[in-house]
Amino acid sequence: MLTRKNILPLGFTCLMLMACSMLNGGYDRHGVMEVSLTLSATTDSGKYFTEIIYRKTGRVEKATRDFLPDGSVKENSVRSGTVSKEEFQKIEDTVVKNNFFAKPDLPPSGSRQMLKVVTANGVKLVDQYSTSDPEIRAVSGAISGAKIAWEGPPRNLN
């Protein structure tokens, strides 16, 4: 029987259970479909750009473009591969666990390193070099550290 004495603890318990279920299952709520890391640099030897995209389907694509100072193309390639469901889940869990979706929106600024997460609700971009946030660094590390099964050498697009 519910009384005033036990209704408050019961209400508190219900709130805690709801909060825990949202935190533990947050990745389902966000529906992460794609995670990518983009690196770029301009040096005396030219411009360099690479982007690696991990999709929930397990597909991975890496695009690399390397230009000489005169603008001619040194490398323009694409490489395909796969990651296991568990590897993608590790990345997704790291994104959620490290509060990526709560970070301020930081649109591309021409920086050297961008993180992008695509969900059913839209796209979230974070300029990694605009923050020293250890949570953002953890997400970047999970992306960079994923085990990829590459399908042959890069394909030259020149």
Q: How far apart are CA 75 and CA 80, in angstroms?
A: 16
Cα distances (Å, whole numbers) of residue 127 to 60, 81, 123, 131, 158: 21, 26, 13, 7, 29
pTM above 0.75, yes or no: no
At 73-110, the pLDDT tens digits run 888 999 999 999 999 999 999 999 998 888 877 655 55
1 and 35 in a single domain? The answer is no
Pairing of strands 32-43, 46-55: antiparallel
Please count the structural domains in the chain: 2
At 102-111, the pLDDT tens digits run 887 765 555 5
94 and 83 in a single domain? The answer is yes
5 and 52 in a single domain? The answer is no
23 and 38 in a single domain? The answer is no
Q: What is the mean pLDDT of residues 33-40?
A: 91
pLDDT at 72 over 80: yes
Q: How far apart are CA 6 and CA 16, in angstroms?
A: 16
70 and 107 in a single domain? The answer is yes
Residue range(s) defining the domain that contains residue 17: 1-30
DSSP E strand stretches across 68-154: 73-82, 113-119, 122-127, 149-150
DSSP state of 110: S
63 and 81 in a single domain? The answer is yes
108 and 133 in a single domain? The answer is yes
